[in-house]
Amino acid sequence: MVTCEVSAHEAWYRENIALTKYADRQWWLWELGFPVAMIAAILVSVVSGQLPSVELSGFIGGSIILFVASAIVAILTIVLQPLAFLPASIAYAYLLARSSAVMTGSNHGPIGKFRRPVFRLLLISIPGGAVLGLVITLALRGFS
């Protein structure tokens, strides 16, 4: 007689073994997931008329910055592992704000002066999201 636990474990094991051939693609998915989702969302918003200030030439340039931003943050996170959170958050906030400025054509001076509202919003929300995720993970063990 086979119990539910044994049959569930066997099914899980079979599926886990079947997925190992895709394990080397996890970094590509991690790297490309956010930029592709953002570009798709922006493109749908532009086509539907929700983002009239985004120009096509700016969209292409901003999309490139979006992909580069993800790569830079990934490299920072790998190289500065224990200390990566703060520099990665600042770099990501800056590059995402830069991407927004390029897409909308509002390229008026450096964002590094902490005056652009988009940069300040991202600088607060990136660590805020990480802290919220940590609190939820601690409160609900199954969340992570």
Residue 89 within any structural domain of the chain: yes
Pairwise CA distance, residues 139 & 6, whole Å:
30
Write the DSSP symbol of residue 23.
Answer: G
Q: Classify burial at 95, counting beta carbons within 10 Å of its beta carbon; exposed 0-12, middle 13-18, buried 19 or more.
A: buried
pTM of the predicted protein model:
0.60
Q: Which residue range(s) make up the domain with 109?
A: 24-143
Sign (positive or negative) of CA dihedral 22, 24, 28, 29: positive
- pLDDT per position as a tens digit, 123-143: 788 778 878 878 888 888 776
Each residue's pLDDT expressed in tens, for the chain with a length of 144 residues = 567 787 888 888 887 777 776 666 666 676 778 888 888 888 888 888 887 888 777 888 888 888 888 887 777 777 777 677 777 777 778 888 888 888 887 765 544 444 567 777 777 887 788 788 788 888 887 765
Predicted pLDDT of residue 24:
67
Q: How many CB atoms lie within 10 A of CB 118?
A: 17
- pLDDT per position as a tens digit, 90-111: 777 888 888 888 888 776 554 4
Domain count along the chain: 1
Residue 65 within any structural domain of the chain: yes
Residue 7 within any structural domain of the chain: no
Predicted pLDDT of residue 113:
46
Predicted pLDDT of residue 53:
81
Residue 5 within any structural domain of the chain: no
Pairwise CA distance, residues 101 & 38, whole Å:
15
Write the DSSP symbol of residue 81.
Answer: G
Residue 4 within any structural domain of the chain: no
Predicted pLDDT of residue 2:
62
